[in-house]
């Protein structure tokens, strides 16, 4: 019996499927054999994922007679670098993979972003499959084709729009995540409800414990999230409009990540997004765009699942508001100098606000830091 759910990402010639379900790592061999008969593969992964799951994957591939060369990298955000990009690309070439072969990105967001980028430039482009192993990667980074590395000048400033040929999200693998990692991914799940699916947010308020526990509710939450993301990406693949909605919570979140020097012991990406979403709702209420009740509801839910939601929830000291504001203006979602924010008129009513007054943002940050 298979409870796998399949979602279509409608991108014309670049369309692909997302498969979500239990035991998909072990079943990857037959999926990949069906996708690209005769192709050889390289598995790009990190040390943590390799020690837990690589054997299951390579065994499944071997049973389907698929050759696989593993390329194992250090875990962590620092791996999204020029040096590691070179290492992966050279590894793919050394493995004698050709343009008809296949790269498998097997890991969290760091591995997916890096391997997808490397696949896009090795021999001017090889097809790749995303096998996300973190909740964050399953509901966000593995879908939509954004790939890349970090620049010393900022995160994700170098990369490609490069769509995978298939996404295989094994929901069982998530049981090996730490609770903190799972929660961080959950922030992006809640985000889809807050952007434009109020019923999904209400469902999460009732069912989040089952999502954390695993089983059908988890598969359902991931599927809803992927559907939401696929819809936005199909409308705006290259982020010239609507796709920016996916950045709800990210402008504040990125600034907080930068302010904590990307120290994951203090703040990981999903936690930054959780605080960022709470701030976006509070800021919207301060600008009289939304009711304060909605901001309170968002905060209550984040608190219930154990996510941080206030700047003061971050351990250690933070720079002054002026510095945080500087990080915000350095964010890449700036069009010809104008400040763009994702704000909201209520739960599930987010919108892209351009020309947000800089003085309001600064005053808001000052109040939140003083809290």
Taking the complex as a whole, the smallest distance from the CB of residue 35 to a copy of itself amounts, in Å, to 17
197 is annotated as an active-site residue: no
Among 59, 159, 39, 173, CA closest to 106: 173
**Which one of 86-94, 215-223, 302-310, 343-351 is the stretch in contact with a copy of itself (CB under 8 A)?**
86-94
Distance, in Å, from the CA atom of 114 to the CA atom of 110, rounded to the nearest integer, reads: 6
Residue 121 interacting with a copy of itself (CB under 8 A): yes
**Which one of 29-37, 155-163, 298-306, 317-325 is the stretch in contact with a copy of itself (CB under 8 A)?**
155-163
Write down the catalytic residue from 22, 27, 80, 146.
146
Q: Which residues are annotated as a binding site for NAD(+)?
A: 109-113, 133-134, 146, 155
Report CA Rg, the chain.
20
Taking the complex as a whole, the smallest distance from the CB of residue 89 to a copy of itself amounts, in Å, to 6
Pick the binder of a copy of itself from 7, 50, 68, 89 (CB under 8 A).
89
Phi, psi of 15, rounded to the nearest 5 degrees: -65, 150
Residue 90 interacting with a copy of itself (CB under 8 A): yes
Residue 122 interacting with a copy of itself (CB under 8 A): yes
Largest CA distance in the chain: 62
188 is annotated as an active-site residue: yes
Residue 94 interacting with a copy of itself (CB under 8 A): yes
Among 282, 316, 324, 314, CA closest to 299: 282
Closer residue to a copy of itself (CB): 332 or 345: 332
How many residues contact a copy of itself, by CB under 8 A? 32
**Which one of 5-13, 14-22, 84-92, 183-191 is the stretch in contact with a copy of itself (CB under 8 A)?**
84-92
Residues 18-47 that bind a copy of itself (CB under 8 A): 38
What the block records as the tokens of 190 is 């809640």
Q: What is the DSSP string of 223-238?
A: HHHHHHHHHHHHH-TT
Closer residue to a copy of itself (CB): 161 or 262: 161
Pick the binder of a copy of itself from 1, 124, 316, 317 (CB under 8 A).
124
Distance, in Å, from the CA atom of 245 to the CA atom of 250, rounded to the nearest integer, reads: 10
- What distance lies between CA 125 and its chain's CA centroid? 23
C-alpha dihedral (326, 327, 330, 336), degrees to nearest 10: -60
- What distance lies between CA 367 and its chain's CA centroid? 29
Helix (H, G, I), strand (E, B) or coil at 261: coil
Write down the catalytic residue from 22, 53, 218, 250.
250
What the block records as the tokens of 95 is 């493995």
53 is annotated as an active-site residue: no
- What distance lies between CA 311 and its chain's CA centroid? 21
**Which one of 7-15, 147-155, 196-204, 359-367 is the stretch in contact with a copy of itself (CB under 8 A)?**
147-155
User: x/- contact string, 306-325, with a copy of itself (CB under 8 A)?
Assistant: --------------------
**Which one of 24-32, 87-95, 217-225, 260-268 is the stretch in contact with a copy of itself (CB under 8 A)?**
87-95
Pick the binder of a copy of itself from 3, 8, 63, 86 (CB under 8 A).
86
Taking the complex as a whole, the smallest distance from the CB of residue 56 to a copy of itself amounts, in Å, to 28
**Helix H or strand E encompassing 68:** strand 68-73
47 is annotated as an active-site residue: no
Among 285, 289, 281, CA closest to 252: 281
Distance, in Å, from the CA atom of 318 to the CA atom of 261, rounded to the nearest integer, reads: 10
Write down the catalytic residue from 77, 205, 220, 239.
239
Distance, in Å, from the CA atom of 135 to the CA atom of 173, rounded to the nearest integer, reads: 9
229 is annotated as an active-site residue: yes
Pick the binder of a copy of itself from 82, 215, 241, 329 (CB under 8 A).
82
Q: How many CA atoms lie within 13 A of 326 on its CB side?
A: 7
Q: How far is CA 25 from CA 17, 244, 338, 368, in A?
A: 16, 32, 44, 44
In the complex, which residues of this chain contact a copy of itself (CB under 8 A)?
A: 38, 82, 86, 89-90, 93-94, 98, 100, 117, 120-125, 146, 148, 151-154, 157-161, 238, 332, 334-336
Catalytic residues: 124, 146, 188, 229, 239, 243, 247, 250, 254, 269
């Amino acid at each position: 019996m298979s409870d796998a759910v399949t979602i279509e990402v409608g991108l014309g010639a670049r369309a692909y499927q997302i498969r979500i379900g239990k035991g998909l790592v072990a079943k990857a061999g037959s999926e990949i054999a069906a996708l690209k008969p005769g192709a050889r593969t390289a598995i790009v992964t990190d040390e943590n994922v390799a020690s837990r799951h690589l054997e299951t994957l390579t065994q499944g591939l071997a049973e389907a007679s698929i050759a696989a060369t593993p390329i194992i990298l250090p875990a962590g955000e620092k791996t999204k670098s020029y040096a590691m990009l070179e290492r992966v690309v050279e590894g793919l070439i050394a493995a004698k993979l050709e343009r008809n072969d296949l790269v498998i990105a097997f890991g969290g967001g760091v591995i997916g972003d890096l391997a997808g980028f490397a696949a896009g430039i090795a021999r001017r482009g090889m097809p790749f499959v995303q096998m996300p192993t973190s909740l964050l990667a399953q509901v966000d980074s593995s879908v939509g084709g954004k790939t890349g590395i970090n620049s010393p000048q900022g995160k994700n400033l170098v990369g490609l729009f490069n769509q995978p040929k298939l996404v295989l999200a094994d929901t069982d693998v998530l049981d090996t995540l730490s609770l903190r990692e799972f929660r961080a991914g959950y922030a992006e799940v809640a985000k889809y409800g807050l952007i434009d699916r109020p019923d999904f947010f209400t469902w999460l308020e009732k069912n989040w414990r089952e999502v954390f526990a695993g089983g059908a509710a988890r598969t359902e939450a991931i599927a809803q999230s992927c559907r939401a993301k696929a819809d936005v990406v199909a409308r705006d693949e290259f982020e010239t409009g609507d796709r920016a909605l996916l950045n709800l919570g990210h402008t504040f979140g990125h600034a907080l990540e930068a302010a904590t020097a990307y120290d994951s012991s203090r703040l990981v990406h999903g936690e930054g997004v959780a605080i960022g979403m709470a701030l976006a709702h509070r800021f919207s209420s301060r600008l009289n765009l939304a009711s304060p009740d909605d901001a309170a509801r968002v905060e209550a839910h984040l608190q219930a699942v154990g996510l941080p939601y206030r700047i003061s929830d971050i351990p250690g000291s933070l720079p002054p508001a002026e510095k945080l504001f500087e990080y915000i203006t350095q964010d890449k979602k700036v069009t010809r100098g104008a400040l763009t924010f994702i704000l909201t008129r209520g739960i599930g009513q987010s919108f892209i606000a351009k020309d947000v007054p800089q003085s309001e943002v600064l005053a808001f940050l000052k109040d939140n830091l003083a809290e």
